[in-house]
């Protein structure tokens, strides 16, 4: 045997010994996520749902369905009752003779549009407020935290109903900036949901601002804005991704609830919540009108929640084991 410390021939690795290549954080994340079959299945469903929502007009034509607002009384029976699934309408029709398949598909479009845009706005506002409160602390943190507490003290659904009703009248809210329609729904959902992520980000920033790399940047004369955006914000990417994925299904349900109560998406636009509201009185005679949009809503919310759990485990495996 050669002594490597005394200038001898350096030792060579044993034949057949495994070689460990350094993996980037992205590669480690993908490796963990790839091992979670439930999360991958949820991701596949969400991708297909997004594609179906974007390509809704094309899919409707390909399957030979009618446009979502096309009323055809010939598909109602002699008593005016809608007919169930058949060769012409695979999901049946609603009380106005409209194709339920088309309306479920276009309803996915509306739900995803509202949920994603509202989530983006609420996350942007929540992250900004959370970072400011957590970094500056003192009276700034106290003022912002108390404001968040006041908003959280209101019953969320009642607050949303009040805002949606007020903004749906006349020229809307904020001097006509928020106009009746989808804009109102997006504004209301974003306004009532940003507080949750603001609290989470504030707690993360309170911990990060005491870390050595932040102290080092501060000692080198870095400005507060540079520390916030160059040092702290990159370390918040993982929780932002996870909580964004979990907020989206909440907003899908919120949109459905507002539409169900009549202050969300307005006719003739298709909405899963509005369809469920219309289907409730006639469930005994037209079960399909509630089952199909209800199933679409259930699967969408479930898929986003499962994906969020999978992302959390992949980005923070220690939290998943605890």
Look at residues 144, 125, 123, 147 and name the one whose alpha carbon lies nearest to residue 134: 144
> C-alpha angle 108/119/303, rounded to 5°?
50
Question: In whole angstroms, what is the distance from residue 244 CA to residue 306 CA?
Answer: 13
Q: What is the pLDDT of residue 175?
A: 63
Task: Convert the pLDDT of each residue in 187-233 to its tens digit.
Answer: 888 888 899 899 999 999 999 988 888 889 888 888 888 999 888 99
Residue-wise pLDDT tens digits, 3-54: 544 455 555 555 555 544 566 777 777 788 888 799 999 999 999 999 999 9
Question: Residue 53: what pLDDT?
Answer: 93
Beta carbons of 76 and 267 less than 8 angstroms apart: no
pTM of the model: 0.83
- CB count in 10 Å sphere of residue 183: 16
> Could you read off the pLDDT of 287-306 as tens digits, one per residue?
999 999 999 999 999 999 99
Distances (CA, A) of 175 to 66, 158, 170, 172, 179: 39, 23, 10, 7, 9
Helix 138-153, helix 100-136: angle, nearest 10:
150
Domain layout of the chain by residue ranges: 46-68+92-321
Mean pLDDT of the chain: 85
For the domain spanning 46-68+92-321, the CATH number is: 1.10.3720.10
């Amino acid at each position: 045997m050669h002594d490597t410390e005394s200038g001898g021939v350096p030792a060579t690795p044993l034949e057949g010994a495994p070689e460990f290549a350094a993996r980037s954080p992205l590669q480690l994340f993908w490796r963990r996520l790839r091992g979670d079959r439930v999360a991958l299945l949820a991701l596949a469903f969400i991708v297909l749902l997004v594609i179906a929502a974007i390509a809704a007009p094309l899919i409707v034509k390909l399957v030979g369905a009618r446009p979502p607002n096309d009323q055809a009384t010939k598909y109602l029976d002699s008593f005016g009752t809608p007919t169930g699934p058949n060769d012409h309408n695979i999901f049946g029709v609603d009380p106005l003779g409209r194709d339920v398949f088309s309306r479920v598909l276009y309803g996915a479009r509306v739900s995803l549009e509202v949920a994603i845009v509202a989530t983006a706005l609420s996350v942007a506002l929540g992250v900004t407020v959370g970072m400011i409160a957590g970094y500056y602390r003192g009276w700034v943190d106290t003022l912002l935290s108390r404001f968040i507490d006041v908003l959280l003290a209101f019953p969320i659904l009642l607050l949303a109903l009040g805002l949606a009703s007020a903004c749906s009248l006349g020229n809307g809210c904020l001097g006509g900036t928020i106009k009746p329609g989808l804009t109102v729904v997006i504004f209301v959902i974003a306004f009532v949901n940003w507080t949750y992520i603001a609290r989470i980000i504030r707690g993360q920033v309170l911990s990060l601002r005491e870390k050595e790399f932040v102290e080092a940047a501060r000692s080198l004369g870095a400005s507060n804005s540079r520390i916030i955006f160059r040092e702290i914000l990159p370390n918040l990417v993982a929780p932002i991704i996870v909580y964004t994925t979990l907020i989206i299904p909440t907003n899908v349900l919120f949109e459905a609830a507002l539409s169900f109560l009549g202050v969300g998406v307005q006719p003739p636009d298709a909405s899963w919540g509005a369809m469920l509201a219309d289907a409730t009185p006639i469930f005994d005679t037209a079960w399909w009108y509630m089952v199909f949009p209800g199933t679409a809503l259930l699967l969408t919310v479930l898929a986003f929640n499962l994906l969020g759990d999978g992302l959390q485990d992949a980005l923070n495996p220690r939290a998943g084991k605890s």
